[in-house]
A and B are shown apart, each in its own frame.
Chain A
Amino acid sequence: MIYIIDHKDSFTHNVVHQFENFDDVYCDNFNDIKQSKLNKAKVVVFSPGPGSPKDYPNSSKIYKELKGKKKIIGICLGFQQILYCERGKIVQQNKIYHGYQSKVKVTGNNSLFKKNQKFTVGRYHSLKLQEPFAAKNFEITMRCDISHTAMAIENNIDKIYGFQFHPESFLTENGNLLIKKILSA
């Protein structure tokens, strides 16, 4: 079972439907966590959402508790939530991407995806990861083809994955493939 923590976003149920292609999904609000369900889940997903990771201390707490114990996936805000918990700095961008389609490129050497492969993806984010960023076992594996902003992270030891873009958006091509790959990793 996959537990999706909803940060009250208007895209969360697209995420739910996408993950339902692969397993049973339970989804509830970040401020209303069902502990017994969370315990049973094999995978925990941090949803997109408004605001910034510091606004969701409860989600940070859950991340820290579950790190290394369950597979963790973060999307957009969820991606930033993971980085924030790993001492990454989340900052405002000069150029803001809302409803934007762009190309990302696989840049990581140890990624599940083929190096230099490009994906067309949908983006909804005001904030981004400020670099340099370094955390044990984490690698930035995809970047915006133009701005080089960090677009995906992988930690294949602790099984933690994140996308700054939205694999569930209709603007993303082959979004299901991306999710399938990290779920079977």
Chain B
Amino acid sequence: MTKLDHLKEITESKKPFIIYKSNKGFDLFTNFSKKIILTNKNIKNFINNVSKNKSKRKDTDLFIGFFGYEILNNLIGVKIKKQKAIKFPKGIFYKPEKKIKLSTRLNYKPIESIRFNKNFKVNLNQDSYSNIFNKFKKKIKSGETYQIKICTKYKNATQIDALDFFCRLTKTNIAPEAFMIKDKNYSIISCSPENLITKKKNFITTKPIAGTLKKTNKLNKAKALAFFKKNIKETKEHNMIVDMERSDLSKICKSGSVKIIKKKTVEEYKDLYHYVSLIGGKLKEKVSSLDIIKAMMPGGSVIGCPKISTLNLLNTQEKEGRNIYTGSFGYINFNGDMRFNIIIRSILNYQNYSEISVASGVVIDSNAKHEFNENYIKAKALMDLYK
């Protein structure tokens, strides 16, 4: 069977499914025998029970799904005040019974054509963005945060064909942590570039991104690296994230084992360059899956630093729930191995509403107008799919 058939078949079957970027192509997960909707009450048991078996016999011996932002805050004791919410689940995990390997090129023709609404509304205009921005700058000056990411949200009312969106997205941008979920009442499409946790046996790595540069004809990888190295603002932001991730790993790793494996390298994507580091360590004995998730999530690079006080600042400021944005998607194997990304560059479609959240960092030398536009550019890549 060709890959075309798999995608056609899965669409026609109308079964829920998940596609996740693998090393060589994509993995398709379906035939879900269990679906667990997470709550603040059941999440701890869920995480602890998944990896109780200690052995993984089949390649479907895993739970795959996502943790939303709010449930991750709750897990580490950070409270969020009442926000405007769309009652979307705080997290959902599935037990697949079938896994199919797909190649990198996903080909799919929509069965029926849907007319998309391409007009998006942003929840913060530039003035209110600037207000928040200036408020946070004062907090940086007084030392309550060193770096903080303001989230803006673009929304519209429309139906979408999630698989069509995902295929078009991956044609132009093959992100290493791309994924999509299609279930009966919602879908998620993401071209996340950022891996938060890769855990195999007792070794764990995280790969924070801090620093983005748009590609031009004049640039190449070496010039991009030179740009990042020379740019003091990008360098400082990146340094902060590296030290924060080292510290998060140090909570669960053996003393002296946390190392920067790749320090400040450039990765090339279709439209942009990212400034990336890879940090890893050997896990302590008796560290549970829950310990790992609590130490690493929500991923620091998309929150700011220091994590707890910055989360508190964000949560008093943000009037609307983040839902999946800056949560994590991935899987936990029955043997305790896991892989999770950070959910960014994503579309959540729920009850025929699409939302795209984006954020960019405020450090002491950021400029409000620049960051507001940066957010728009990030969102535009996804809004362009609605054509």
A residues near B (Cβ < 8 Å) are 8-14, 16-17, 20-21, 49-52, 77, 92, 96, 98-101, 122, 124-127, 166, 169-171
Among B239, B244, B260, B309, which residue has its beta carbon within 8 angstroms of that of A51? B309
Q: Is the CB of A99 within 8 A of B255?
A: no
List the B side residues contacting A16 at CB < 8 Å. Answer: 250, 255
Q: Is the CB of B140 within 8 A of A96?
A: yes
What is the CB-to-nearest-CB distance from A51 to chain B, in angstroms, rounded to a whole number? 5
Among A12, A21, A51, A77, which residue has its beta carbon within 8 angstroms of that of B255? A21
List the A side residues contacting B145 at CB < 8 Å. Answer: 50
List the B side residues contacting A14 at CB < 8 Å. Answer: 243, 246-247, 250
Which of B26-34, B230-238, B322-330 forms part of the interface with chain A? B230-238
B288-335 at interface with A (beta carbon < 8 Å): 300, 305-310
Q: Known interface pairs A21-B255, A99-B240. Does A11 touch B306 (Cβ–Cβ under 8 Å)? A: yes
Asked if B248 lies at the interface with its beta carbon under 8 angstroms from chain A, I say yes
- The CA of A48 and the CA of B313, in the complex, are separated in Å by 18
What is the CB-to-nearest-CB distance from B135 to chain A, in angstroms, rounded to a whole number? 15
List the B side residues contacting A10 at CB < 8 Å. Answer: 243-244, 247-248, 300, 305-308
List the A side residues contacting B258 at CB < 8 Å. Answer: 17
Asked if B372 lies at the interface with its beta carbon under 8 angstroms from chain A, I say no
- The CA of A33 and the CA of B140, in the complex, are separated in Å by 28
Q: Known interface pairs A10-B306, A122-B243, A124-B240. Does A20 touch B143 (Cβ–Cβ under 8 Å)? A: no
Q: Known interface pairs A10-B300, A13-B250, A14-B247. Does A98 touch B364 (Cβ–Cβ under 8 Å)? A: yes
Asked if B67 lies at the interface with its beta carbon under 8 angstroms from chain A, I say no
B residues near A (Cβ < 8 Å) are 140-147, 235-240, 242-244, 246-251, 255-256, 258, 260, 263, 300, 305-310, 363-364
- The CA of A21 and the CA of B250, in the complex, are separated in Å by 13
List the B side residues contacting A21 at CB < 8 Å. Answer: 255-256
Nearest chain B residue, comparing its CB with the CB of A27? B251
What is the CB-to-nearest-CB distance from B51 to chain A, in angstroms, rounded to a whole number? 23
Nearest chain A residue, comparing its CB with the CB of B237? A99
Nearest chain A residue, comparing its CB with the CB of B238? A99
Q: Is the CB of A11 within 8 A of B247?
A: yes
Q: Is the CB of A13 within 8 A of B247?
A: yes
- The CA of A169 and the CA of B250, in the complex, are separated in Å by 13
Among B237, B255, B300, B306, which residue has its beta carbon within 8 angstroms of that of A50? B306
List the B side residues contacting A20 at CB < 8 Å. Answer: 255-256
Nearest chain B residue, comparing its CB with the CB of A16? B250
Number of A-B contacts (CB under 8 A): 103
Q: Is the CB of B260 within 8 A of A17?
A: no
Judged by DSSP, the binding face of A is mixed
Q: Known interface pairs A10-B307, A14-B246. Does A124 touch B146 (Cβ–Cβ under 8 Å)? A: yes
List the A side residues contacting B142 at CB < 8 Å. Answer: 51-52, 92, 126-127
What is the CB-to-nearest-CB distance from A131 to chain B, in angstroms, rounded to a whole number? 19
Sample of 7 more A-B contacts, CB < 8 Å, known A51-B143, A124-B146: A10-B247, A11-B244, A13-B249, A50-B145, A122-B239, A126-B146, A170-B243
What is the CB-to-nearest-CB distance from B363 to chain A, in angstroms, rounded to a whole number? 6
Q: Is the CB of B243 within 8 A of A166?
A: yes
Q: Is the CB of A126 within 8 A of B240?
A: no
Sampled A-B contacts (28; CB under 8 Å):
A8-B308, A10-B248, A10-B300, A13-B250, A13-B251, A17-B256, A20-B255, A21-B255, A50-B143, A50-B145, A50-B306, A50-B309, A52-B143, A92-B143, A96-B141, A98-B140, A98-B146, A98-B236, A98-B363, A98-B364, A99-B235, A99-B236, A100-B236, A124-B146, A169-B239, A170-B243, A170-B246, A171-B239
- The CA of A144 and the CA of B186, in the complex, are separated in Å by 55
- The CA of A52 and the CA of B143, in the complex, are separated in Å by 7
List the B side residues contacting A8 at CB < 8 Å. Answer: 306, 308-309
List the B side residues contacting A96 at CB < 8 Å. Answer: 140-141, 364
Q: Is the CB of A98 within 8 A of B240?
A: yes
- The CA of A92 and the CA of B238, in the complex, are separated in Å by 23
Q: Is the CB of B237 within 8 A of A126?
A: no
Q: Is the CB of A126 within 8 A of B140?
A: yes
List the A side residues contacting B237 at CB < 8 Å. Answer: 99
Nearest chain B residue, comparing its CB with the CB of A101? B239
- The CA of A21 and the CA of B256, in the complex, are separated in Å by 7
What is the CB-to-nearest-CB distance from A50 to chain B, in angstroms, rounded to a whole number? 4
- The CA of A100 and the CA of B237, in the complex, are separated in Å by 9
Nearest chain A residue, comparing its CB with the CB of B240? A99
List the B side residues contacting A50 at CB < 8 Å. Answer: 143-146, 306, 309-310
Q: Is the CB of A17 within 8 A of B240?
A: no
Among A17, A122, A127, A170, which residue has its beta carbon within 8 angstroms of that of B143? A127
